[in-house]
DNA sequence: AGTAATAGTTACCTATGATAATTAAATTAA
DNA sequence: TTAATTTAATTATCATAGGTAACTATTACT
């Protein structure tokens, strides 16, 4: 499997650039989209929820959420625990979510054109397995 | 294929973090490793060669090469065209390359543990196809 | 010879994320 | 029930990586 990382990583910049171009219409970027995606699919959430999901530190999420608040895409709702900041999509946020979701799904199909269905499915299932290996085999690997 | 990008991208940060940890022993990072890898496998090269390979702008490569020169991992060799800066690995660079190559290959095997051989091979071959689609289908896609 | 293009550099800016310290609120323990 | 501890979020500061625009030096074109 020598060369696997190169193959994996050489997709990253072209892909993230394309996604950011697509999202820039709404003054968004993929990092902001992740937050929208999370609260759309998990319901109103705290910053810690999001931070845990993406293995990103809390101050990073604070910044993303502040930006989304400026854009009026998310808003805070009251919760019992007054330490927590529970955020959800605004109506505007829901609209923008739908439009972006469609464009992203179109792009997902587009980048898969000409690739056999079974190849797509295998890759689709293999990537999370690799992620698990990276995250959970760390302890037992000393080198 | 909805959700493909998420699956692809959620590997990125854990992987690049792990690679950077591994390389930090030699004061390297993956971005510096890319340059070493390129000139090891393509022979002495110019900054433009490397810039084209990784779709990164020239100033970025200038910075990487300067850092590698500081570390005495690459050196400049004279060429006919005096505009060009042709760089190659030093002896120290060759040594470090070999050690890193081994560690990276070990990690490549490690993250693939427990995944069937045919799944590995399919993923290995599918990723470059997706990259081609992203890079070369840009023109015909207006959305 | 004069103009274009090319290789590399410099200066400056952006995006993204990390760490450490701080505030406020809730939980646990004495 | 007060005191200590933990938790959620924030602020300030720093690091990494990359981009654009403007510039110099050299080579290629015409």
**Residues 109-128 on chain A lying near strand C, CB distance under 7 A:** none
Domain A11-136 has CATH 4.10.520.10: no
B31 touches strand D (CB under 7 A): yes
pLDDT at A65 (0 to 100): 98
Q: What is the share, in percent, of chain A residues with pLDDT greater than 90?
A: 91
Looking at residues B22-49, what average pLDDT do you find?
Answer: 97
pLDDT of B130: 95
Distances (CA, A) of B42 to B8, B50, B74, B90, B91: 28, 10, 14, 15, 17
- Spell out the SS3 assignment of A61-110: HHHHHHHHHHCCCEEEECCCCCCCCEEEECHHHHHHHHHHHHHHHHHHHH
**CA separation for the pair B61, B36 (Å, rounded):** 12
Nearest CA-CA distance, residue B54 and chain A, Å? 7
Nucleotides of C under 7 A from a protein CB: 6-12, 15-20, 24-27
Q: What is the pLDDT of residue A4?
A: 94
* Nucleotides on strand D lying under 7 Å from protein C-beta: 7-13, 16-21, 25-28
The SS3 of residue A55 is: coil
Tell me how long chain B is: 143
Between the two ends of chain B, the Cα-to-Cα distance in Å is: 18
Per the prediction, chain B carries an average pLDDT of 93
pLDDT exceeds cutoff 80 at B140? no
CB B61 within 8 A of CB B47: yes
CA atoms within 13 A on the CB side of A129: 14
Q: Which two tokens stand for residue B131?
A: 């990259």
Distance CA A18, CA B111 (A): 27
Percent of chain B with pLDDT over 90: 92
| Segment B56-71 mean pLDDT | 97
Q: What is the pLDDT of residues A13-58, one digit of tens each?
A: 999 999 999 999 999 999 999 999 999 999 999 999 999 999 999 9
The distance of Cα A1 from the centroid of its chain, to the nearest Å, equals 27
pLDDT tens, residue by residue, A84-141 = 999 999 999 999 999 999 999 999 999 999 999 999 999 999 999 999 999 886 544 3
pLDDT in tens, B73-86: 999 999 999 999 99
The pLDDT tens digits for B10-22 are 999 999 999 999 9
In the predicted model, what is the mean pLDDT of residues B43-59? 96
What does the alpha-carbon distance between residue B19 and residue B102 come to, in Å, rounded to a whole number? 12
CATH number of B13-136: 1.10.10.10
The whole-angstrom separation of Cα B19 and Cα B10 is 15
Average pLDDT over residues A71-94: 96
Task: Output the average pLDDT for chain A.
Answer: 93
Please name the residue of chain B whose CA is at the shortest distance from the CA of residue A119. Answer: B122
């Amino acid at each position: 499997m020598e060369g696997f990382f190169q193959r994996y990583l050489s997709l990253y910049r072209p892909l993230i650039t394309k996604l950011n171009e697509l999202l820039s219409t709404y003054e968004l970027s993929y990092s902001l989209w992740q937050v929208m995606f999370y609260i759309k699919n998990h319901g109103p959430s705290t910053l810690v929820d999001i931070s845990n999901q993406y293995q990103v530190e809390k101050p990073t999420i604070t910044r993303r959420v502040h930006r989304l608040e400026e854009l009026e895409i998310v808003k805070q709702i009251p919760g019992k625990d007054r330490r927590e900041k529970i955020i959800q999509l605004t109506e505007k946020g829901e609209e923008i979510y739908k439009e972006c979701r469609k464009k992203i799904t179109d792009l997902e199909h587009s980048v898969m054109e000409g690739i056999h269905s079974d190849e797509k499915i295998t890759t689709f299932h293999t990537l999370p397995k690799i992620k698990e290996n990276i995250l959970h085999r760390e302890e037992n690997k000393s080198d």
